[in-house]
């Protein structure tokens, strides 16, 4: 217990002193010398550009064989437990949604998690799916109680500097862009036309902050999930839904009377969230992603779930932090 | 200021009160005057007693009828609305958990729940005055139940097409049920409970009864005084009409006492053996359904143990306590039903712990299978069935007791004034005969 705490402290210290520029305003005020850095403006209002959110930890070792995780690593903890606990959603068609016929949760995000389980156990089915509320996606990897904690969150979670302060992200596994979903017969062409209109997003998502910050001043409406936003939209409680094009595509696939419009409002690179307490697991995940980018697994997964969005592009290239 | 003014003022002020008092005072000094006074007093008391006896009986009867035909049925209906809505919510969540096409049995159960809720709501609306918290709750329920049904219907339609937004519709419906429908039904239940309490005090009509007792005592005392006075001033020991009047008064007193005491004793047992256990059993059934709903929603959310599971623990504790107090019911049929319910609750608790263990251990599919499987369902059903049997038994007892309590009050409404009239006639006859002697 004590050694683990020491390791955590060491990691925190490394991040605080030598971390990327974004970590200059780490949560503990006495840790960083540059509290007057750009991030001091506070999260939410202006985008935090103090770091490169796409850059993750570079894998230091080759991937261990499935079922033979090195002792003392977090992967070993997972292996000993017998299953990987993945935090995700159950209402984002294409990424992670409950198949009403089978009751199973499936999608692109779920497959990302399954590929990690495959790398640990040699068996993709050794995975426990736990649904994480949208506003708990970052906190879920660091919950106090083991029953509430998850190993990994893959849930259309945008890697950004504000979140990097609390958790580590894997390298980027999907590039999304924020757009707007409106009624098929409406004249709205994007967020700029939605001034004074009700626009829905999941509480705790960057999309919600985006509505608040939009210059056209739409009225933000928060719902627990984007599925609930679609319900609100179909019940005429809101005029539009804004979030990443990939999620909107999943919503649009369920309602022929909507369209996705607008120029990309912002780039939303998706990464998997992992606790800062075990950087070796982040490195492991990055190594798995790297392997799957190269051997075509990523493209196959894309084609399986996201073929409606067009032919599979090249996977997002991995970027690593200079200091690691 | 002069003395002449004072002298003139005195006679103009004095006549009004002084005149009557003076005349009464003068009457008291003569024997026939005294008899006239006694007669007046007897007539006044007799008529007043008759009136109050009628009013007391009418008020007690109206109170008893209101209790039996309005307040208590309203309580039962409020419970029906609450438990039907809670059961509908749970059933919808279980159908969702089952995956695939929802089982026909669960669909039927959901439809039946909704039917029960709307039927009970319609008749509850008839029993509720136009304003007040109960009417407000009924208004909100009437508006929200169709909305709820619409959301569930959309959930089903989407589910049939394999669209995951169906799950979101169901979650929205469930939120509406838990955040608006069930609290409104609970508000209605509480207000019905208050109305039942008020109903008992109306049915007892304690103020009228107290007034009646005072009047009867005063009447008897006056009759006794009149007879003693007559036997002293005349040579006759007994004045037959006045003795008869005393008999009539005693008869009236006795009849009133028997009818009102009977009514009160039946009211007391309707309350203690009917209303009280009915309220407790109804509350227990609501708690049981809440437990089952919490379990299903925890699994449907698939997010591990959250608020719902905490609510389950709290609800379970409350239910165990309530079943403990119900266990002391003296009636053996009810005690058996409560025993069966308690056993069912124990079995269900064990099954639930197993479900949580499986889910927490990562075996979600097995947890769902166990939760909606026959073993857990049977344990839970024996809990709700036990409570339902107890409830029906106590409801029947309440109806019987209230019927008996209301019996006789109607005849007292007529008999009271009638006996009082007879009494007045007798009193007049008795004293008029003596007065004639002074002419």
End-to-end CA distance of chain B: 51
pLDDT for position B18: 60
Q: Does position B11 have pLDDT exceeding 70, yes or no? A: no
A196: nearest Cα among A223, A222, A215, A224: A215
Can you say whether the dihedral through the CA atoms of B281, B285, B286, B291 is positive or negative?
positive
Residue B358 Cα distances to A97, B199, B354, angstroms: 22, 50, 6
Q: Residue for token digits 């040579």?
A: B235
Please list the residues that pair with A270 across neighbouring strands. Answer: A158, A174
User: What is the predicted pLDDT for the residue at A46?
Assistant: 58
Indicate whether B31 pLDDT > 80: no
Average pLDDT over residues B266-274: 91
β-strand A167-169 against A273-275: which pairing, if any? antiparallel
- ipTM of this complex: 0.73
pLDDT classification of A47: cutoffs 50, 70, 90: low
> Averaged over A156-175, what is the pLDDT?
94
Give the pLDDT confidence score for residue B111 in this predicted structure. 94
Q: Which residues of chain B make contact with A234, given a CB cutoff of 8 A?
A: 154, 165
Q: What gap in Å lies between CA A44 and CA B10, rounded to an integer? A: 93
Q: Cα(B257)–Cα(B49) distance, rounded to whole angstroms?
A: 14
Closest CA to B142 of B80, B193, B185: B185
Query: What Å distances lie between residue B240 and B61, B230, B249, B250, CA to CA?
Result: 35, 11, 14, 15
Predicted local confidence at residue B439, as pLDDT: 65
Own/partner contacts of B169-173, CB < 8 Å, gap of 24 or more, are B169/A231, B170/B92, B170/B93, B170/B96, B170/B300, B171/A224, B171/A225, B171/A227, B171/A228, B171/B300, B172/A228, B172/A231, B173/B89, B173/B92, B173/B148
pTM recorded for the entire structure: 0.77
E strand or H helix that includes residue B212: helix B206-233
Q: Is B155 helix (H, G, I), strand (E, B) or coil?
A: helix
Closest CA to B344 of B395, B287, B387: B387
Strand partners, A299: none
Distance CA A137, CA A105 (A): 17
Q: Are A293 and A315 in contact (CB under 8 A)?
A: yes
User: Average pLDDT, whole number, for chain B?
Assistant: 88
Average pLDDT over residues B416-434: 89
The Cα–Cα gap between B338 and B394 comes to 12
Least confident of A19-33, A106-120, A162-176, B322-336: A19-33
- Predicted pLDDT at A35: 35
State the Cα–Cα distance between residues B96 and B364, nearest whole angstrom. Answer: 14
B302 to chain A: which residues are within 8 Å by CB? 90, 105, 129-131
Quote the mean pLDDT of chain A.
Answer: 84
Task: Name every residue in A having a CB less than 8 A away from some CB of B.
Answer: 82-83, 85, 90-93, 97-103, 105, 128-133, 147-148, 224-225, 227-228, 230-231, 234, 251, 254-255
Tokens standing for A265?
A: 């409002």
CB B56 within 8 A of CB B205: yes
Distance from CA of B300 to the nearest CA of A (A): 10
pLDDT of B235 higher than 80? no
DSSP strand pairing (A96-98 vs A105-106): antiparallel
Contact call for residues B395 and B77 (beta carbons, < 8 A): no
Residue B429, class by beta-carbon neighbours within 10 Å (0-12 exposed, 13-18 middle, 19+ buried)?
A: middle
Res B91 pLDDT > 80: yes
Q: What is the pLDDT of residue B116?
A: 94
Classify the phi-psi angles of A225: left when phi > 0, otherwise alpha if psi is within -120 to 50, otherwise beta.
Answer: beta
| Cβ neighbours of residue A79 closer than 8 Å, sequence gap 6 or more | A67, A69, A120, A121
Calpha distance B185→B176 (Å, rounded) = 13
Counting residues of chain A whose pLDDT is more than 70, the rounded percentage is 85
Give the minimum alpha-carbon distance from B174 to chain A in angstroms, rounded to a whole number. 12
Cα–Cα–Cα angle for B366, B380, B150, rounded to 5 degrees: 80
Could you read off the pLDDT of B343-376 as tens digits, one per residue?
A: 999 999 999 999 999 998 888 889 999 999 999 9
Find the Cα–Cα–Cα–Cα dihedral B187, B189, B193, B198, rounded to 10°: 70
To test the contact with chain B by mutation, choose from A88, A91, A100, A234 the residue with the greatest count of B C-beta atoms within 10 A, namely A100
HSE-CB at B375 with a 13 A cutoff on CA atoms is: 13
> What's the per-residue H, E or C state across B300-330?
HHCCCCCHHHHHHHHHHHHHHHHHHHHCCCC
**What pLDDT score was predicted for residue B224?**
92
Establish, for the pair of chains A and B, how many residue pairs have beta carbons separated by less than 8 Å: 84
Mean pLDDT of A142-151: 86
Q: Within 13 Å of residue A196, how many CA atoms lie on the same side as its CB?
A: 0
- What digits encode the pLDDT tens for the residues A254-302? 999 999 998 888 889 999 999 999 999 999 999 999 999 999 999 999 9
Mutate to test the interface with B, among A81, A227, A257 (most CBs of B within 10 A): A227
Mean pLDDT of A220-234: 92
Chain B residues within 8 Å of chain A (Cβ atoms): 97-100, 151, 154, 158-159, 162-169, 171-172, 301-305, 360, 362, 364-365, 368
In chain A, DSSP assigns E strands to 55-56, 84-88, 91-92, 96-98, 105-106, 127-131, 152-153, 167-169, 174-183, 198-202, 219-223, 240-244, 258-261, 267-270, 273-275, 319-320
pLDDT at A41: 35
The predicted pLDDT at position A71 comes to: 93
Reported as a single tens digit per residue, the pLDDT across B134-192 is 899 999 999 999 999 999 999 888 888 888 888 889 889 988 998 999 999 999 999 99
């Amino acid at each position: 217990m004590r050694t683990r705490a020491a390791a955590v402290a060491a990691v925190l210290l490394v991040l605080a002193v030598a971390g990327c520029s974004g970590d200059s305003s780490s949560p503990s005020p006495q840790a960083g010398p540059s509290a007057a850095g750009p991030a001091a403006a506070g999260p939410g209002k202006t985008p935090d550009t103090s770091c490169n959110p796409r850059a993750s930890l570079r894998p230091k070792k080759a991937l261990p064989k499935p079922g033979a995780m090195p002792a003392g690593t977090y992967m070993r903890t997972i292996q000993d437990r017998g299953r990987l606990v993945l935090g995700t959603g159950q209402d984002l068609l294409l990424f992670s949604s409950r198949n009403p016929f089978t009751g199973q949760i499936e999608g692109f995000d779920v497959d990302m998690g399954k590929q990690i389980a495959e790398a640990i156990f040699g068996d993709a089915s050794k995975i426990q799916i736990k649904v994480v509320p949208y506003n708990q996606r970052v906190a879920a990897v660091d919950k106090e109680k083991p029953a509430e904690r998850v190993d990994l969150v893959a849930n259309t979670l945008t890697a950004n500097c504000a979140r990097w302060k609390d958790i580590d992200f894997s390298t980027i596994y999907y590039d999304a862009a924020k757009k707007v979903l409106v009624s098929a017969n409406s004249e709205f062409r994007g967020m700029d036309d939605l001034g004074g209109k009700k626009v829905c997003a999941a509480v705790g998502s960057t999309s919600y902050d985006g509505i608040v910050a939009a210059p056209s001043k739409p009225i933000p409406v928060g719902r627990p999930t984007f599925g609930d936003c679609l319900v609100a939209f179909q019940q005429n409680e809101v005029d539009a839904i804004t979030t990443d094009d990939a999620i909107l595509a999943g919503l649009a696939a369920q309602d022929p009377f909507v369209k996705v419009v607008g120029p990309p409002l912002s780039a939303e690179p998706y990464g998997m969230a992992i606790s800062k307490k075990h950087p070796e697991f982040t490195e492991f995940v990055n190594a798995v992603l790297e392997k799957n980018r190269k051997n075509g697994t990523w493209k196959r997964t894309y084609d399986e779930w996201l073929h409606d969005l067009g032919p599979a592009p090249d996977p997002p290239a991995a970027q690593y932090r200079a200091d690691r | 200021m002069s003395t002449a003014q004072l002298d003139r003022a005195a006679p103009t002020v004095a006549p009004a009160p002084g005149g009557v008092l003076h005349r009464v005072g003068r009457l008291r000094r003569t024997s026939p005057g005294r008899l006239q006074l006694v007669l007046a007093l007897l007539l006044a008391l007799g008529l007043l007693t008759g009136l109050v006896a009628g009013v007391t009986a009418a008020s007690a009867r109206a109170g008893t009828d209101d209790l039996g035909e309005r307040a208590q049925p309203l309580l039962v209906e409020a419970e029906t609305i609450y438990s039907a809505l809670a059961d509908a919510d749970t059933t919808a969540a279980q159908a969702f958990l089952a995956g695939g096409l929802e089982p026909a049995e669960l669909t039927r159960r959901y439809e039946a729940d909704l039917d029960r809720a709307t039927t009970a709501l319609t008749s509850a609306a008839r029993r509720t005055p136009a304003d007040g918290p109960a009417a407000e709750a009924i208004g909100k329920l009437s508006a929200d139940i169709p909305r709820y049904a619409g959301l569930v219907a959309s959930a089903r339609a989407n589910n049939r097409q394999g669209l995951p937004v169906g799950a979101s519709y169901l979650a929205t419906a469930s939120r509406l049920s838990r955040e608006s429908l069930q609290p409104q039904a609970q508000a209605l239940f509480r207000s019905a409970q208050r109305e039942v309490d008020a109903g008992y005090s109306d049915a007892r009509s304690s103020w009228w009864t107290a007034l009646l007792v005072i009047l009867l005592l005063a009447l008897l005392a006056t009759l006794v005084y009149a007879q003693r006075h007559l036997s002293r001033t005349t040579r006759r020991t007994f004045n037959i009409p006045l003795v008869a009047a005393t008999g009539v008064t005693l008869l009236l007193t006795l009849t009133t006492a028997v009818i009102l005491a009977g009514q009160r004793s039946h009211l007391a047992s309707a309350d203690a053996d009917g209303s009280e256990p009915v309220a407790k059993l109804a509350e227990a059934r609501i708690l049981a359904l809440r437990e089952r709903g919490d379990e299903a929603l925890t699994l449907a959310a698939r997010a591990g143990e959250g608020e719902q599971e905490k609510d389950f623990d709290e609800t379970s504790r409350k239910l165990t306590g309530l079943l403990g107090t119900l266990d002391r019911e003296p009636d053996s049929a009810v005690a058996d039903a409560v025993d069966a319910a308690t056993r069912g609750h124990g079995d269900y608790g064990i099954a639930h712990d197993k479900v949580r263990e499986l889910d927490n251990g990562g075996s979600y599919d097995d947890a769902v299978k166990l939760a909606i499987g026959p073993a857990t369902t049977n344990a839970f059903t024996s809990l709700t069935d036990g409570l339902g049997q107890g409830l029906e038994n106590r409801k029947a007892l309440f109806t019987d007791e209230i019927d008996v309590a209301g019996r006789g009050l109607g005849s007292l409404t007529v008999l009271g004034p009638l006996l009082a009239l007879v009494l007045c006639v007798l009193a007049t006859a008795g004293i008029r005969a003596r007065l004639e002697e002074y002419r």
